[in-house]
Structure 1
Amino acid sequence: MEIREATPQDWPRIYPFWSRIVEDGSTYVYPLGLGSDDARAVWMESPPGLTVVAVEGDDILGSAKMGPNRPGRGAHVATGSFMVDPERQGRGVGRALGAYVIDWAGREGYHSIQFNAVVESNVVAVRLWQSLGFTIAGTVPEAFDHRTNGLVGLHIMVRKL
């Protein structure tokens, strides 16, 4: 598996799994029903941010986006978002993308990384981030309307660099 910067030509292969994950309604706060152009505007970062893809040969296994969590006086804290093609889960793609973002943020001089909205019922993601050194700084109760579980909390997770 290789992780490289995403190109505009990658988007048509990212959007199908991006859309499937969002429409599932269990992990992301993005609006349902976003078309390709609107979704691309949300996912494909411009500098100082970056979007990458995890690839194996010509197959895109997953994608991550990263950049400053907030502008101005908050720009020393990075953030990231991750999506792994559901057909490619269980192969270490999420862990590889997470490690990439941690390394990238360190190289770019960020002080820490903050994830603003990790759905508390997404126990696989919570365990993954904890195994990569993130802690739960707090949980906003009932902040996410999970498609099947109803209102659940959103964890704010942080990792110092």
Structure 2
Amino acid sequence: MTVREATENDWPQIWPIFRDIVREQTTFAYDPGMSEDEARRTWLRGEPARTVVAVADDQVLGTANMYPNRAGPGSHVASASFMVDSAARGRRVGRTLVEDMIAWARRREFVAVQFNAVVETNTAAVQLYENLGFRTIGIAPGAFRHPSEGDVGLRIMWLDLREN
């Protein structure tokens, strides 16, 4: 598996992953009725952001986008979003994408990475992030409406790149 910059030509493989995850409504606070064009604009960001795909045998297994968390005074902190095809889960695709993002953030001289909205019930993601050194610095209780769990918290997770 390799991680490389995403191109418009990757969109036909990214879209089904994006669509299915968003429609599931368990990990992303995106509108499940979002059109494909809206999704493409949301996911395939230009500079200073970066969008990548994890690929094996020309098959997109997962994708990530990364960017400054905020503009101006907040632009020294990175953020990112990750999506892994359901058929590729358990194959270290997520870990590979997160490690790539951390390396990118270091190259770009960000001082930290902040994930603003990690759904509390997404235990696989929480465990992965914690294993890579992230810590929860706050929880917005009930901020995510999960389709089967009801209102659950959104974690704010932080990795200080100056400490590692």
Name the TM tier (shorter chain). over 0.9
**Residue 109 of structure 2 aligns to a residue in which SS?**
coil
Which residue of the partner structure matches residue 118 of structure 2? 118
Which residue of the partner structure matches residue 96 of structure 2? 96
For the pair 1:73 / 2:73, whether they are aligned, the reply is yes
Which residue of the partner structure matches residue 59 of structure 1? 59
Cα RMSD of the aligned pairs, angstroms, is 0.5
- Aligned-residue offset at 1:53: 0.1
Aligned residues: 161
Which residue of the partner structure matches residue 47 of structure 2? 47
Q: Determine the C-alpha separation between the residues in 2 that align with 1:67 and 1:57.
A: 27
Which residue of the partner structure matches residue 142 of structure 2? 142
For the pair 1:129 / 2:123, whether they are aligned, the reply is no
The C-alpha deviation readout for 1:70-111, integer Å capped at 9, x for no partner, is 000000000000000001100000000000000000000100
Which residue of the partner structure matches residue 107 of structure 1? 107
**Residue 158 of structure 1 aligns to a residue in which SS?**
strand
Aligned identity (percent) is 49
Which residue of the partner structure matches residue 33 of structure 1? 33
For the pair 1:84 / 2:73, whether they are aligned, the reply is no
Q: Which structure 1 segments of 5+ residues have no match?
A: none
Q: Determine the C-alpha separation between the residues in 1 that align with 2:147 and 2:45.
A: 27
Task: Calculate the TM-score normalised by the size of structure 1.
Answer: 0.99
Q: Which residue type is aligned with residue 76 of structure 2?
A: H
**Residue 141 of structure 1 aligns to a residue in which SS?**
strand
Q: Determine the C-alpha separation between the residues in 2 that align with 1:42 and 1:146.
A: 22
Q: Which structure 2 segments of 5+ residues have no match?
A: none
Which residue of the partner structure matches residue 3 of structure 2? 3
The C-alpha deviation readout for 1:18-71, integer Å capped at 9, x for no partner, is 100110010000001212100011111110100000000210000000010000
- Aligned-residue offset at 1:141: 0.3
Q: Determine the C-alpha separation between the residues in 1 that align with 2:52 and 2:155.
A: 24
- Aligned-residue offset at 1:5: 0.2
- Aligned-residue offset at 1:112: 0.2
Q: Which residue type is aligned with residue 114 of structure 1?
A: Q
Q: Which residue type is aligned with residue 86 of structure 2?
A: P
